[in-house]
Amino acid sequence: MAFSLKNFLKRHSANPVTRRKAWNKYFERRLERHGLHIYKGHLNWALSPELAALHERWGDTPGIPADRCCFLYNLARQVAARGIPGDTAECGVRFGKSSFFIMSGLGDPVRPHHVFDSFSGLSEAGEADVAMDGVKSWSAGDIAADERVCREKLAAFEQCNFYRGWIPERFPEIEDRRFALVHIDVDLLEPTRDALEFFWPRLEAGGVIVSDDYGFATCPGVTRAFDEFFAERPEKPLPIPTGQVLVWKDRPGA
């Protein structure tokens, strides 16, 4: 790739907006050679002081990247603004970053939030979880997390309830609850399907289920679970460019 004097000068401009755009273009062109992409540097969510403050509060503990955090945060704000009743839940909480942004977006300290995780990592992947190139992306025990760290990171949210165990073994403890928002981040077909079968009938009309893994080549089982579950239902998965997917529930019951 040819050297651009114009871009070089802009990258060292006194104008911060000019610098940001120039550096974005610089890295964008280099990543394109490898089939990779980055977000535009002038997108509002990337510049949001509110989200930046939340990321600073969260700190360096691992979790989903900023774009997906932004999506969950704003989705939770939509649920709150629409007045959708019901609890919220997350399957596959790891260290709690997704739940942190969901509960921050809701801003409702009395709405119960339920988190489910083995805290022992993933279960064994099945044939449906093998990527198209034949590579097995996941092994039993991957993405294990320390429950104590998760509890510490979410300690400010007294409405958060923890359920340690393999999905769906502890779901019966909340079978009488109704839900406004459910986040599924379990990477594999079977626990994703189990979560959909349990939570969808308990989702309020106007409520939403969102998954972190639908659009990733490493998680083909999640894509299959959503596509098969909603194949005969009027509601359909809406893929998001971040790799996430959401499904709003249009009807009561079902």
Residue spans of the domains in the chain: they are 1-42, 48-248
pLDDT value of residue 213: 94
Which residues face 124 on adjacent strands? none
Q: What is the pLDDT of residues 45-104, one digit of tens each?
A: 888 999 999 999 999 999 999 999 999 999 999 999 999 999 999 999 999 999 999 999
- Predicted confidence (pLDDT) at residue 41 exceeds the cutoff of 80: no
Q: Name the band, by pLDDT with cuts 50, 70 and 90, for residue 21.
A: confident
pLDDT value of residue 20: 73
User: What is the rounded distance in angstroms from the CA atom of residue 233 to the CA atom of residue 227?
Assistant: 10
pLDDT value of residue 65: 94
Q: What is the three-state SS of the chain?
A: CCCCHHHHHHHCCCCHHHHHHHHHHHHHHHHHCCCCCCCCCCCHHHHCHHHHHHHHHHCCCCCCCHHHHHHHHHHHHHHHHCCCCCEEEEECCCCCHHHHHHHHHHCCCCCCEEEEECCCCCCCCCHHHCCCCCCCCCCCCCCCCCHHHHHHHCCCCCCEEEEECCCCCCHHHHCCCCEEEEEECCCCHHHHHHHHHHHHHHEEEEEEEEECCCCCCCCHHHHHHHHHHCCCCCCCCEECCCCCEEEECCCCCC
CATH topology of domain 48-248: Rossmann fold (3.40.50)
* Cα→Cα distances 215→29, 171, 242, 247, Å: 24, 26, 8, 14
Q: What is the pLDDT of residues 233-242, one digit of tens each?
A: 999 999 999 9
164 within 8 A of 118, measured Cβ to Cβ:
yes
Residue, of 43 and 222, whose pLDDT is higher: 222
**C-beta pairs of 232-237 under 8 Å, 24+ apart in sequence:** none
| Average pLDDT, integer, range 111-134 | 88
Count other C-beta atoms under 10 Å from residue 145's C-beta. 20
115 within 8 A of 101, measured Cβ to Cβ:
no
- Predicted confidence (pLDDT) at residue 148 exceeds the cutoff of 80: yes
Count other C-beta atoms under 10 Å from residue 1's C-beta. 8
Count other C-beta atoms under 10 Å from residue 135's C-beta. 9
Q: Name the band, by pLDDT with cuts 50, 70 and 90, for residue 254.
A: low
| Residue 178 phi, psi dihedral angles, 5° rounding | -115, 155
Percent of the chain with pLDDT over 90: 70
Which two three-digit tokens encode residue 108?
Answer: 């409702």
167 within 8 A of 191, measured Cβ to Cβ:
yes
Which two three-digit tokens encode residue 52?
Answer: 């930046």
HSE, CB side, 13 Å, CA atoms: give it for residue 31: 11
